[in-house]
Amino acid sequence: MSSQNQFRQQSHKLLVIPGPIEVTDEVLYANAHPLVSHMSLDFAAVFGDCIRMTRDVLYTKSAQPFLISGSGTLGWDQVSANLVEPGENVLVLHSGYFADSFADCLETYGAKVDQVKADLGSVVSPAEVERALKSKKYKVLTVTHVDTSTGVLSDIKAVAEVVRKVSPETLIVVDAVCSVASEEIRFDDWGIDVVLTASQKGLGAPPGLSIVVASERAMKVYETRKTRITSYYGSWKKWLPIMKAYEAGTAGYFATPPVNLIYAFHASLSQITKGSVTLEERFKLQKDASSRLKKAAEAMGFKGLPLSTEVAANGMTALYFPDGLEASDVVPRLLKKDIVVAGGLHAAVKTKYFRIGHMGVSAIDAQRGDIDKIISALKETLAEAKASKKA
């Protein structure tokens, strides 16, 4: 195989769905690392680095990362099985499709779930959170940082402040599958207890890794639970010694880790935490790219699904089709121009909008020109679609 400096991925359609996303040549090259033993010291060193760099992305010093083969969904299972005991109350803040699925997962493990639902395109307000927390004692509160179905961004710092004020023992669990490394998360400063995410979005690696980070407070709650953990594969009892071993530079075995994906994740985390762009600059570049794309799309006549810019995500954009147009007018035309976007997902408006992902390298590396490519493809698509309606 060619050396890392020579490796270039083959030309392909621009993948701008809200995950998986475009990844760098370095990440793909790392994914092609020769297979090594998952018990080797070489691999343990790489895994240990991944654990430490995962902490860095979230600005946490003391939280415990779990890197386990699986997807973002496995994070829901881990929270449900390790932190909640059957019959306990969980409050789910709903800003779109993914909250329903998390609630369903929690109930599968026996939790009693209440949801506070925001209007479409909006988030649950701190006042509503306060009211709900005063009405009942909740063991866990969950909030979706960026709901990938709506492109809505929740203010998790504000949510955490309310929880700490009104119900300090309630654990704050953030579904950050579509936000880690695209949106700022100050895990320790904001008092968050769990961030769950996956490798294939802002973290810029191929799919296949579930990443869960738990605070010391969450780990105490897990350690002092009274009933047996309700999962085998997702049990922190099994995985904690493995994570500790890898972090100490030795290996441990419970179930085989995704060796090559760990190399790819290491390459991506290295670029995010030690690359030419700092983490702070990364978040600013994300915002700039997002606002450029959103403004251009709105000037063309597309309307954003989030009700205001304050609640709009920076790593993705959800746009209603202009009047008279539908998915079949827009999405296939973009595809013909080698731009891969995603259709609608939220049941209430599924056929009325589409989604563009612009996390990671598409937003950070301006030289690639991905944002410009999307904007010009949208312009051409719109002109063609309107012309075809008139014909």
Ligand X SMILES: Cc1ncc(COP(=O)(O)O)c(C=O)c1O
Instruction: State the residues that interact with ligand X by CB under 6 A.
Output: 19, 71-73, 98, 144, 147-148, 175, 177-178, 198
User: What are φ and ψ of residue 238, in 5° steps?
Assistant: -75, -40
User: Closer to ligand X at the Cβ: 195 or 267?
Assistant: 195
User: Closer to ligand X at the Cβ: 98 or 239?
Assistant: 98
User: What are φ and ψ of residue 120, in 5° steps?
Assistant: -55, 130
Shortest distance (Å) from residue 144 CB to ligand X = 5
Q: What is the dihedral of CA 231, 177, 210, 224, to 10 degrees?
A: -40
Structure tokens at 317: 């954009």
Shortest distance (Å) from residue 124 CB to ligand X = 15
Q: Is the dihedral of CA 217, 138, 229, 261 positive or negative?
A: negative
Closest to 354 measured CA to CA, from 343, 363, 364: 343
Shortest distance (Å) from residue 203 CB to ligand X = 11
User: Closer to ligand X at the Cβ: 199 or 271?
Assistant: 199
User: Closer to ligand X at the Cβ: 199 or 215?
Assistant: 199
Q: Say if CB 150 and CB 118 are below 8 A apart.
A: no
Shortest distance (Å) from residue 77 CB to ligand X = 10
**Cα atoms found within 13 Å of the Cα of residue 325, Cβ hemisphere only:** 24
Report helix angle 97-108 to 72-82, nearest 10: 40
Shortest distance (Å) from residue 379 CB to ligand X = 28
Q: Say if CB 99 and CB 124 are below 8 A apart.
A: no
User: Closer to ligand X at the Cβ: 104 or 298?
Assistant: 104
User: Closer to ligand X at the Cβ: 179 or 230?
Assistant: 179
User: What are φ and ψ of residue 369, in 5° steps?
Assistant: 75, 20
**228 in a known ligand binding site:** no
**Helical residues (DSSP H) of 216-278, grouped into ranges:** 216-223, 236-247, 259-274
Shortest distance (Å) from residue 106 CB to ligand X = 13
User: What are φ and ψ of residue 186, in 5° steps?
Assistant: -100, 80
Helix (H) or strand (E) holding 358: none
Shortest distance (Å) from residue 198 CB to ligand X = 4
User: Closer to ligand X at the Cβ: 71 or 235?
Assistant: 71
DSSP string, 266-298: HHHHHHHHHSSS-HHHHHHHHHHHHHHHHHHHH
Extract the annotated binding site for substrate: 355
